[in-house]
Amino acid sequence: MNPITTFDLSKFEHSSLTRFAGANITVGGLVSAAVILAGAFVLSWIVTRALRRVRERSDRSRQVVYLLERLASYGIIVFGVISALSAAGLNLSSLAVFAGALGIGVGLGLQGVVKEFVSGLFLIFDRMVSVGDYIEIEDIGIRGAIMEIGPRALRVRTNDNVNVLVPNSRLIEQPVTNWTLKGDTRRIHVPFSVAYGADRGKVRDAVLAAARASPFTLPETEARKSQVWLVSFGDKGLDFELLVWPTRDAVKRPAAMHAAYTWLVADALDEAGIEVPLPQTDLRIRSAFGLEGDDALRRLGYGKGPAPRAAAPAAGRAPSANDAAEDVIRPADIEPPADNA
């Protein structure tokens, strides 16, 4: 290589651009800073991607791996920025006064961003909500699984595959319902009604058998049992509630889960020959044309008909398809594949 060319490149590398905070900024320093900063971002992306794959394969330590993933990403970026400033020739100690003034400006102009970032750190360390939890924010009508807690907002994916960004501070300042806190489940109530005169014991046995046979009902324990309650005497019939403990995956699909259990109850009542009440109005005529009772009805042109009988179960009826049950069984923690088109 020509010595003159080497000398010229070296001279260009050390050529001064400007002075900032008592430091001489050179072309070589800026190039080195850019390389270090780019390397930090690339390293952060690689480490984050690797830890994300570990988290997706893990069953019990997802929150711990996610915490490590966030800390590693932030730590690498901060270390890269500090190293880039040093490589550019800036003396960080000489920037103390400038950094203080800059911090005041950032605090006033970007206080919302700083607030969300600090709130995100609190959410990660507090662990009252974790990645994979199913939450509900009632006042804004958001209900879904937490897929990511970012520096500004967390990403909530609804069961309709709609991703909603919720500010981190929203979960700290306002009430939030966590349906799967610490990986647990919850009891649900499924209301249904039967006609007056139905055998209550038969109703209970039929509905409980259907609920216990469901693939999304947890095995019963002493503390968690499926039950059927008679809750009220309604206008059209007896009002019951099925109380059941569903699986954690079923809890993450509340609408489909409720529809699935309602369908199971309807099938169980049909198979047991138990009548479901229909909307009806009884008109009692005490007197018409000086006549009462059956005589009054005959004068109006109506005879006394036979008493209605409960519908008998159809012989050999095949179980009906239950689309909601299939939707409940489908795993909920796996995101749909990205569209590369």
Could you give the CA distance from residue 117 to residue 194 in angstroms, rounded to a whole number? 54
List, for residues 72-103, the tens digit of each pLDDT value. 887 888 888 878 777 776 666 655 555 565 56
Return the residue matching tokens 């988290």: 55
Instruction: Say if pTM beats, i.e. exceeds, 0.85.
Output: no
At residue 114, the pLDDT reads 75
Show the tokens assigned to 302.
């109506």
Return the residue matching tokens 């901060």: 78
CA separation, residue 140 to residues 133, 175, 209 (Å) = 18, 11, 38
Q: Are 172 and 155 in contact (CB under 8 A)?
A: no
Low-confidence ranges of the chain (pLDDT < 70): 1-25, 27-28, 58-64, 89-110, 183, 280-294, 296-297, 299-341
At residue 208, the pLDDT reads 92
At residue 341, the pLDDT reads 40
List, for residues 156-209, the tens digit of each pLDDT value. 988 888 899 988 888 888 888 888 877 678 888 999 999 998 888 899 999 999
Return the residue matching tokens 């981190």: 168
At residue 305, the pLDDT reads 46
